[in-house]
Structure 1
Amino acid sequence: MDEAFLNLEEVDVELDEALLEAVDDKAFADHRDNRDAAVRDLLDEWLKQRGDC
């Protein structure tokens, strides 16, 4: 695996409408409407499922 991307400070992703709605639901329910916190939380969950963390 190419690990050159590990030094990136920023990553852009595209979310489809259904996933964006799920992020907004999580942001509202768990993070006081903070979408950034919800995205970080979901990314953390995803990485743990993959075993990368």
Structure 2
Amino acid sequence: MNETFLDLEEVELELDEALLEAVDEKAFADHRDNRDAAIRDLLDEWLKRRDEE
């Protein structure tokens, strides 16, 4: 069993309606309606942009 996730921090996000709609659109278009995958994808994009700054 892969236990690498056990040392990760937990975060809680509050999304407004517009952002939630954007996540749902990305989930439908790119991830076969999988909202969790869309959120991970968007978070990954944000982290990469932040690292470039």
TM-score by length of 2: 0.79
Q: Which runs of 5+ in 1 are unaligned?
A: 1-5
Q: Distance in 2 between matches of 1:12 and 1:39?
A: 12
Moved over 2 A (4+): none
Instruction: Report the residue type matching 2:17 in the other structure.
Output: E
Q: Which residue of 2 aligns with 1:13?
A: 13
- Count matched residues: 46
Q: Which runs of 5+ in 2 are unaligned?
A: 1-6
User: How do 1:29-48 residues align onto structure 2 when only pairs under 5 Å count?
Assistant: 29-48=29-48
CA RMSD of aligned residues (A): 1.7
Identity of aligned residues (%): 78
Tell me the alpha carbon deviations over residues 1-48 of structure 1, each in whole angstroms, 9 at most, x when there is no partner.
Answer: xxxxx741x221000100000000000000000000000000000000
Q: Distance in 2 between matches of 1:37 and 1:44?
A: 10
